[in-house]
Structures are given as C-alpha cells and as structure tokens.
Structure 1
Amino acid sequence: MGKNKTSFFDMQFITSGISIMLVLLLLGMVVFFVLSANNLSKYVRENISFAVMLSDDMKEPEALTFQKYLSEKPYVKDCMFISKEQALKEQTETMGTNPAEFVGHNPFPSSLEVKLKANYALSDSIRWIEKEILSNKKVLEIDYPEDLLNDVNGNIRKISIGLLCLAALLTLISFALINSTIRLAIHSKRFLIHTMTLVGASWGFIRRPFLWKNVWIGVFAAVLADVTLIGMAYALVRYWPELIEIITPSVVLIVMSSVFVFGVLITLICSYISINKYLRMKASALYYI
C-alpha cells in the first residue's frame, strides 16, 4: 500500500503538476482579464453621468417628483437632484469666487444628475432617452459627454476583441505545452506499455492507471493555480477596495471553475492521445523516439 502511494505521488507527479499549474495560471489570468473587462466596461458606462437642466419654473417639490419619476425608469441606475444653491456652492468651490456677486443673482439652474445602466449607455439609446426627457416642457436641455461615451465604448470593444483573441491563442498554446509535458512523462513508460501488450493486457487495462494518474496531476495543478489566482485577486481588492466592483465573487468563481475543468479535461485528453500513440507503435520504433 505504502509502495503504491509512493510510486503514484512521485517526483514526476510533482514536477508535471507544477509545470501544468504554471500554464493553467497563465490561462486563468487571461480568463480573469476577459471577465473583468466586461465588468470594467459596465462600471465605466454606469459612472458616466449627464445633466438634465431644469427651468426656474420647476420648483423644488416638482423637481423631486420628476427625479422620482426618472429613478423608476428601467434605463436609470441613479438620479440625483442638485438644487440651484448646491450648484452655486459647488461652482464657487471650484472657481474660488462666487459668480452671484458679479451678476447679482444665482446664474445656475437646478438640475438632475443621471447615470444610466450599462446596457443603455450607448449613443442610440441616449438619443431616444433624451427625447423622452425633453418631452417635459420644464427641461431646458440635456448635457452629456457624447464624444467621451463613444470613445469609451470603442476602446472597450477593441480591448474585448483583443482579449478574446489572446484567450483563444493561449488556449491552443496551453494545449500544446500540457500535451508535451504529459507526453514526456508517458515517454519514459513506453517500454512498460509495450511489455503489457505482449502479455495480453487489453488497451483499456493499460490506459486506466495512466489516465487516472494524469487526471490527478490535472487536479493538483488546477488547485495550485486556483489558490494562486485567489491570492492575487484578494491582494488586488485589499490594495484597491474599489476593484470589488470589477473583481466580483462571480468572476472569481467562474475563473476557478474554468481552470479546474480545463486542467482536468486537458490532462485526460492529452494522456489518452499519448498512450494510444505508444499502444499502436511497434517494438522497433520505440528505440527511435
């Protein structure tokens, strides 16, 4: 019993596991960035606000009612009322002087600061939202940074495509690297595999222990990679607490699951292919590989 355990968890098991763990770690980081980029785009879009300027005819109680009306719209994430006095105070702090002292009255209208939900923070959506809000005759105008919004959406689209291409490329590279690692491990057992075929062992019987061992190598590598990724995510959130909006528990869970499933499946598939290669090989060919 002890002898079998020692031969199973040998140095080859550990070195193969660490090699595969490094590949899975790199792959997990790319998946992590792809998912985080989606949350980042949502976070940025939902924090771009536009101002709804209200006429002086709209008194504060009516403005608060209009604020509540907009807050209940499906496209609004947040709506905040800014009174004439608050606007004057903010501008005075920004400019360092009180504009009312020069013009003799408060020149700033009351307004609503509106933040949209990410799915509606697009130029086409904002156009019909603007028309709907302007249907209220006491709304003077709507000021939103259209150029900034277009730049953000364009850059996010480019980054997302780039990350997806990188993820696809890295998946192929990961498959090749893990396949090479497992083939090297099985290569040293090629004569044992051939001997077992000579004594009449079935292919399924020969494959079973190799597949089982490599699946456990995949589990070992995936667990190490997941632990490392969790540590990195925790360190980032601890250093920048604001990142909790981007590095959400669901992102971490999806990344961990992806790394684990990929680690197990890829080791199983690669070991199956490699073993079959040596099972089909003639004895004379074993000496030349």
Structure 2
Amino acid sequence: MKNKQQKVPTVRLRNSYVTTVVSISMVLFLLSLLGLLILNARRIGDYVKENIGFSVILKDNVREADRVQLMKYFDASPAIKSTIFISAEQAATELQKELGENFIEFLGVNPLKPSVDIKFHAQYANPDSIARFEKEFSAYPQVEEVYYQESMVNLVNENLKKISVVILAFSALLLLISIALFNNTIRLLVYSKRFIIKTMQLVGANRKYILRPFILRGILNGVFGSVLAIFLFLGVIYIARRQMPEILQFTDGKTIAMLILLIFASGLILAGLTTVMAVNKYLGIERDRLYY
C-alpha cells in the first residue's frame, strides 16, 4: 500500500512532463505549418509575377545581326529572367494549331511578325517597372511595338498585395496564439512546483541555483517537443507529396531543412525563456499568494 502511494506522485510527475512535451510539440508543429504557408505564399506570388506575358514585336525588316544583338541586350538585363524568340513562321504555326485551320492560305500572306517573349523577375514584374520597360523597349529601332496586358499586371499585383496582407495578419494572430499556448504550458508545469521553488528560496538558495534545474528541464522538454514536432512535420510533408504533390511544388529540400532548424531552435529558445519567466514570477511573489 505504501509503495502504491509513493508511485502516485511519480506517475503524476511523469504524466505532467509527457503532457508538456506533447503540448510543446503541437505548438511547434503549428508554427512549422505557418512557416510553410508563408514561404509557399511568397513563392507562388513570385511564380505568378514571373509568368506575366510581355511581348516585344519586331519589325519585318530586322536583320539577323540586329536581332541577335537585341536578344543579347535582353539576356544581359538583371530584370529579365528569360527570353524566347518566336519567328513569324513559328507564330503562324502555333496560331494554326489553335485555330485548327490554315489562315495563311485564306489571307495569302502571313500577317504575323517576329517577336520576343520576355519574363521578368518577380521584383520587376510590377506596373511601374513594366511601364518603364515598355517605354524603353519601344524606343529601339528594331522594335515595332511592345504588347502586354496592363490591366492583368495591375490586377495580379493588387490581388497579391491583398492576399499577402491577409496571410500576414492571419500569421501574426496564429503566432501570438502559439506563443501564448507555449507560455501557458510551461507556466502550468512550473506552477505545480511553486512550493518547491519558494522552499528553496526560503532555505537560502540563490536565484541561479533555483533556476538551473528548471531551465535544464525546460530545455529538455523543448528538445523532446521539437523532435516530436519535426517528425509530425515530416509526416505531413510525406503524405502531402504522395497524395497532393501540386500543393508542395514550390517547396524544396532547402526550405524544409530551414523549417526543421527553425522548429528546433524555436523549441529551445521558447522553452528556456518561458521557463525563466515563469520561475522568476514565483521567486518574486509573497508566500501567501502561492495559494491563489
């Protein structure tokens, strides 16, 4: 009977540690998904911007040497991600495939002109930059006109800004909730030891001596919670790649590795800081208030 009574506190203590580790892992897992959402949202936005159509229509009488020189200039520009030259014949072939009929036989001549399809880097794919490039490219003697859907460029950039604001607001709210949950989890664990903390203080133990075991335990809980969160995160990535690979098409190994390091570092830092804050709270209050 006596052995059973002695085992009860040990079991409760073990259960409290397990509960703390699981709670920490859930919070870190939530933060990892949040990080994945933010990184993917930015990359998807960049992908959309970098696929905005921008065509430079060349004159019919442009010499091959002039065209090559113009292409070299485009390729050397830091704002341009890629260029594709489309001859008049290639343009006619593609249009015939889309229309399903030979319009050249009907017209008797190919009305299409050679062109260069340009894709800009995301940071340059905004209305102001594209308008500046339109003005600059239109002044070239080899260029007849520059074509792009201005309304589409404006719409894409405006929608991406709105989506970014919503994601950032949601992320900030989720981050605050996660930190609050993390803090409450550690505080509950320390709360169960508040009398031990006060007793150690009353018998003359200094602050560092009291803090040391709690910080070590907090960091250890952070390590276990981080490892569990990492396994959960990798499990979600594995399932998503098998079931819905299109969701993670913008996520590479480098991003996943960075998020794993972030999870582990966050677990250690948050566990250590919240433990210090919780212990300091009970070191600074009067003994009578420990019962409330």
| TM-score, normalised by the number of residues in structure 1 | 0.87
What amino acid does structure 2 have at the position aligned with 1:184?
L
Aligned mates of 1:228, 1:145 — CA distance in 2: 44
8 Å CA contact 1:17, 1:220 repeated in 2: yes
Alpha-carbon contact 2:211-2:276 (below 8 Å) kept: yes
Alpha-carbon distance in structure 2 between the residues aligned to 1:144 and 1:274: 59
Residue in 1 that maps onto 2:185: 181
The structure-2 alpha-carbon separation of the partners of 1:59 and 1:38, relative to structure 1 and needing over 3 Å to count, comes to same
Aligned to 2:229: 225
CA 1:45–1:105 in structure 2 vs 1: closer, same or farther (change >3 Å)? same
Alpha carbons 2:24, 2:185 under 8 Å: kept:
yes
Other structure's SS at 1:97 match: coil
Bigger mean CA deviation after superposition, 57-66 or 111-120: 57-66
In 2, the alpha carbon distance for the partners of 1:117 and 1:145 equals: 17
Contact 2:223–2:264 (8 Å) recurs in 1: yes
Q: Is the 8 A contact 2:190 2:279 kept in 1?
A: yes
The percentage of aligned residue pairs carrying the same residue is 38
Corresponding residue SS for 2:156: helix
Unmatched tracts of structure 2, length 5 or more? 1-9
The range that moved more, 133-142 or 248-257, is 248-257
Q: 1:43 aligns with which of 13, 32, 47?
A: 47
Give the drift of 1:59: 4.3
After superposition, the CA RMSD in angstroms is 2.4
Q: Which residue of 1 aligns with 2:83?
A: 79
What is the aligned partner in structure 2 of residue 240 from structure 1?
245
Counterpart secondary structure, 1:10 = helix
Counterpart-to-counterpart distance in 2, 1:234 and 1:44 = 26
The amino acid across from 1:203 in the alignment is R
Moved more, 102-111 or 248-257: 248-257
Letter in 2 for 1:172: L
What is the alpha-carbon distance in structure 2 between the residues aligned to residue 237 and residue 147 of structure 1? 35
Q: TM-score, normalised by structure 2?
A: 0.87
Aligned residues: 281
Whether the aligned pair in 1 keeps the contact of 2:240 and 2:247 (CA below 8 Å) is: no
CA–CA separation in structure 2 for the residues paired with 1:234 and 1:120: 35
The alpha-carbon deviation at position 179 of structure 1 amounts to 1.5
Distance 1:220 1:152 in 2: 43
Rounded to whole Å, the distance in 1 between the matches of 2:144 and 2:228 is 59
Aligned to 1:169: 173
- How far residue 250 of structure 1 moved from its aligned partner, in angstroms, is 4.0
- Paired position in structure 1 for 2:160: 156
Match of 2:60 in 1: 56
Q: Could you tell me which residue of structure 1 aligns to residue 36 of structure 2?
A: 32
The one-character-per-residue Cα deviations of 1:216-257 (angstroms, maximum 9, x if unpaired) are 11122122223333343455456436944x323443344333
Task: Confirm or deny that 1:268 pairs with 2:272.
Answer: yes
Work out the CA distance in 2 between the residues paired with 1:22 and 1:243.
Answer: 21
Q: Which residue of 2 aligns with 1:210?
A: 214
Match of 1:19 in 2: 23
CA shift for structure 1 position 155: 1.5
